[in-house]
Amino acid sequence: LTVKIFLKEANEQLVSDALETTLNEMGICSVETVILSFKPVSDEDVYLNSLKKLWKVLESLVGKGLVYTLGVCDLNINHLQTLYEWAEIKPIINQMNLANCCVIPPEMSQYAQNKEIQLLTHSDPVEILSDEALQELLVSKFAVQWVSRYSVLIKCRGIIKSKGFAVKAKNSKK
């Protein structure tokens, strides 16, 4: 069972909230893998510091037995190396968007192979659920805080048994 958490802001509480809500909705107590999707910001230092804070929360969830392995989404080679060298619990997956990457850069491929990181592809949009799309569904003004997508695979067969989404939005009326 894999859960991919799409965060719209670098808020550590939202990581725990997304996973715990997804676990409750599915009626389970743990997942095999959590993949973090967090949109980069232009300031590299701010992005890496935010990523590290979010990763610490993920590591604590592993410590609590809620998650067994961790992955990331759309990290470039520099971000992946920085996270990997810094992290106590190493990422074992880096999902790469097919829209941005037709050919995996050789340095990324070599690094991932050396560190036993799976390079997987995805075709998810950068923003899985925009505030505007949510507005079309709801009457009040809401802002998306996070979206998690889960998929349950039949082990060793690669068959999707079930999949779904959980969403948290806050009322943005002032």
CATH of residue 7: 3.20.20.100
Domain count, the chain: 1
pLDDT at 67: 97
Q: Which of 168, 117, 161 is nearest to 28 (CA)?
A: 161
Q: What is the separation of C-alpha 83 from the centre of its chain, rounded to a whole number of angstroms?
A: 14
Q: Is 101 helix (H, G, I), strand (E, B) or coil?
A: coil
For residue 16, what are the domain limits? 2-171
pLDDT at 109: 93
Tell me how far apart the alpha carbons of residues 93 and 33 are, in angstroms, rounded to a whole number.
9
pLDDT at 161: 75
Tell me how far apart the alpha carbons of residues 146 and 7 are, in angstroms, rounded to a whole number.
5
pLDDT at 131: 84
User: Could you say which residues of the chain have pLDDT below 70?
Assistant: 101-102, 139, 157-159, 173-174
pLDDT at 62: 98
pLDDT at 149: 85
pTM: 0.80
